[in-house]
A and B are shown apart, each in its own frame.
Chain A
Amino acid sequence: MAWLDTIIQGVLLGGLYALFAAGLSLVFGIMRLVNLAHGDLIVLAAFLILMLVSALGLNPFLAALLAMPLMFAIGWALQFFLLNRTLGTDILPPLLVTFGLSIVIQNGLLQGFAADSRRISVGGLESVSVALGPINVGVMPLLTLASAIAVIVGLNQLFYRTSLGRAFRATSDDPVTAGLMGIQPKRIFATATGIAMVVVTIAALYLGTRANFDPTIGPARLIYAFEAVIIGGLGSLWGTLFGGIVIGIAQTFGAAINPEWQILAGHLAFLVVLLVRPRGLFPRAVD
């Protein structure tokens, strides 16, 4: 049964990677903006939750709930005042600016919180598990995957069932024409980044409770997010979840063979998918 256990742990880990990736995918899908600071924003949100937990003595879940509107505001302002200026036909400015932002966030966090490795405690819930048949499954990993699925269902509902979602899709199609229809693309983009930051906060909660984090781990999370998005195929959120699960399973299998192989196995799985299906497994858009 060891291999079944490995697969299940991999699937659950994939939920975390899907959470890392969903915000990235959302922003890229709507405004073709590759946010290189995405991983650092996850770490920033983790520190924000940690701060709320230690300063106010809140339960981490409650702290994350409180952090969501704050992160939405940060995302909205970041997009409206900074990133909107970088968007255009040239793809280089957004890359350079978000790369710079990544460095700024890392060093800001180093300054504010030092380089110590931290963890958000969920008061014993880390070690609670439930028995699924012969396999014991941790409650937190299970919650992570459930949250990833809930986020994807929620985002899909938002996209296809609401007026805001249609505005997202219309603006993504053609921002100039959308402007003539009474849509303000810059505000739509700001709202999209705000929503991405809410997803980032959820990702940060599970990142911070699962393992230790410090101000410099953002870029490594960004890599997993990128790989999940690309494996799944651009533009499909369910594909992103699947991509996360592929990396998760590869990593747990790698770790089962030899603990040193965990991260390498994830990257190898990504390379194999790129070789076999360069456009990802579930490509939706032709662009």
Chain B
Amino acid sequence: MPILALSNVSKRFGALTVADAVSFELRQGEALGIIGPNGAGKSTLFNLITGNIAADAGTIVFDGRDVTKLPPMQRCLAGVGRSFQIPQPFEKLTVFENLLVAGAFGAKKTEAEVGDRCAEILVETGLIGRANHPAGGLSLLQRKRLELARALATEPRLLLLDEIAGGLTEDECGMLVDTIRTIHRAGMSIIWIEHVLHALNSVVERLLVLNFGKIIGMGTPDAVMASREVREIYLGIEV
């Protein structure tokens, strides 16, 4: 059974179609990359999956359960975790508290139950040294790591990463990708939107290409990168 299945999901904002009959499945434990030009509807697709935007048509099945009509909070409890393109930490809470809140409410447990796991996640994501600092004082890399850590603290079964490598230096990007690869190898299902292709392709098994809300290509990274349409639309290479 796939962990996530979208069938014919559509969304329009006025005259603009941001999701046009999108259908795809994600296998349990699979990592899928999503690429496409700016405005192709990538983040919108995440918003549809997390429930921040309601779909006009189509169904979203998560883990065998139709979640199309569920509010974001219940999808979070069901196991959909998300990191944002622009990090949105709770700035006045400490890094550890950010995780405690996510763990206690996102996984419906007591703080005592989630405390140890939160500390582990901070070690995994390299943030343990900043645990008791207010999240508002973190650097960009640390904020991105916190996005990832906080999503993990909700004990997700599916992790949605939105341009987590964007804006980082080459070294920082490499470190973050290593962390994500480790999490994926431990069995986490991941959907990852990214413009930094080499980072994406070193982790994901499949790529999905979006343009104007429509899927225009899907397959292994090599096959997708070799496709003429993708090269024209996304990479802007005249073929």
With beta carbons under 8 angstroms apart, the residue of B76, B93, B150, B154 that contacts A173 is: B93
Alpha-carbon distance between A179 and B84 when the two chains are bound, in angstroms? 14
Q: Is the CB–CB distance between B93 and A181 below 8 Å?
A: no
Q: Cβ of A85 < 8 Å from any Cβ of B?
A: no
Q: Cβ of B234 < 8 Å from any Cβ of A?
A: no
Q: Shortest Cβ distance from B226 into chain A, in angstroms?
A: 37
Q: Is the CB–CB distance between A163 and B92 below 8 Å?
A: no
Residues A174 and B88 in contact in the complex (CB < 8 Å), given A179-B73, A182-B77: yes
Q: Cβ of A166 < 8 Å from any Cβ of B?
A: yes
Q: Is the CB–CB distance between B90 and A169 below 8 Å?
A: yes
Set of chain A residues within 8 Å of B72, measured between Cβ atoms = 179-180
With beta carbons under 8 angstroms apart, the residue of B88, B97, B100, B111 that contacts A177 is: B88
Q: Is the CB–CB distance between B73 and A183 below 8 Å?
A: yes
Q: Is the CB–CB distance between A181 and B100 below 8 Å?
A: no
Set of chain B residues within 8 Å of A177, measured between Cβ atoms = 84, 88, 90
Alpha-carbon distance between A46 and B150 when the two chains are bound, in angstroms? 44
Set of chain A residues within 8 Å of B108, measured between Cβ atoms = 182
Q: Cβ of B91 < 8 Å from any Cβ of A?
A: yes
Interface size class on chain B is 20 to 34
Q: Is the CB–CB distance between A166 and B107 below 8 Å?
A: no
Q: Shortest Cβ distance from A169 into chain B, in angstroms?
A: 6
With beta carbons under 8 angstroms apart, the residue of A169, A176, A182, A285 that contacts B93 is: A169
Residues A163 and B110 in contact in the complex (CB < 8 Å), given A173-B90, A177-B88, A182-B77: yes
- The majority secondary structure among interface residues of chain B is helix
Q: Is the CB–CB distance between B82 and A166 below 8 Å?
A: no
Residues A166 and B50 in contact in the complex (CB < 8 Å), given A181-B106, A182-B73, A183-B73: no
With beta carbons under 8 angstroms apart, the residue of A167, A172, A174, A180 that contacts B76 is: A180
Q: Shortest Cβ distance from A26 into chain B, in angstroms?
A: 16
Residue from B92, B100, B105, B106 with most neighbouring chain A CB atoms (10 Å): B105
Residues A183 and B105 in contact in the complex (CB < 8 Å), given A169-B90, A170-B90, A177-B90: yes
Look across to chain B and name the residue whose beta carbon is closest to the beta carbon of A284. Answer: B92
Q: Is the CB–CB distance between B50 and A180 below 8 Å?
A: yes
Q: Shortest Cβ distance from B168 into chain A, in angstroms?
A: 21
Set of chain B residues within 8 Å of A179, measured between Cβ atoms = 72-73
Set of chain B residues within 8 Å of A174, measured between Cβ atoms = 88, 90
Set of chain A residues within 8 Å of B52, measured between Cβ atoms = 176, 180
Residues 133-166 of A contacting B (Cβ, < 8 Å): 163, 166
Q: Is the CB–CB distance between A166 and B73 below 8 Å?
A: no
Q: Is the CB–CB distance between A166 and B102 below 8 Å?
A: no
Q: Is the CB–CB distance between A182 and B91 below 8 Å?
A: no
Residues A181 and B101 in contact in the complex (CB < 8 Å), given A163-B111, A166-B93: yes
Q: Cβ of B104 < 8 Å from any Cβ of A?
A: yes
Q: Cβ of A184 < 8 Å from any Cβ of B?
A: yes
Alpha-carbon distance between A178 and B76 when the two chains are bound, in angstroms? 11
Q: Is the CB–CB distance between A182 and B105 below 8 Å?
A: yes
Alpha-carbon distance between A177 and B108 when the two chains are bound, in angstroms? 16
Q: Is the CB–CB distance between A181 and B154 below 8 Å?
A: yes
Q: Is the CB–CB distance between B82 and A180 below 8 Å?
A: yes
Set of chain B residues within 8 Å of A169, measured between Cβ atoms = 90, 92-93, 97
Residue from A163, A181, A183 with most neighbouring chain B CB atoms (10 Å): A181
Alpha-carbon distance between A172 and B101 when the two chains are bound, in angstroms? 13
Q: Is the CB–CB distance between A182 and B106 below 8 Å?
A: yes
Residues 40-72 of B contacting A (Cβ, < 8 Å): 50, 52, 72
Alpha-carbon distance between A174 and B135 when the two chains are bound, in angstroms? 13
Look across to chain B and name the residue whose beta carbon is closest to the beta carbon of A187. Answer: B73
Alpha-carbon distance between A169 and B90 when the two chains are bound, in angstroms? 8
What 0/1 pattern do residues 175 to 196 of A give for CB contact below 8 A with B?
0111111111000000000000
Alpha-carbon distance between A184 and B108 when the two chains are bound, in angstroms? 12
13 contacts between A and B (CB under 8 A): A163-B111, A169-B92, A173-B90, A173-B93, A176-B52, A178-B105, A180-B73, A181-B76, A181-B101, A182-B106, A182-B107, A182-B108, A184-B73
| Additional 11 contacts, C-beta under 8 A, given A177-B88, A181-B76 | A163-B105, A166-B111, A167-B105, A174-B90, A177-B90, A178-B90, A181-B106, A182-B76, A182-B105, A182-B154, A183-B105
Q: B residues bordering A, Cβ < 8 Å?
A: 50, 52, 72-73, 76-77, 82, 84, 88, 90-93, 97-98, 100-102, 104-108, 110-111, 150, 154
The 6 closest A-B pairs by CB, nearest first: A182-B106, A182-B105, A173-B90, A170-B90, A181-B102, A170-B101
Q: A residues bordering B, Cβ < 8 Å?
A: 163, 166-167, 169-170, 172-174, 176-184, 285
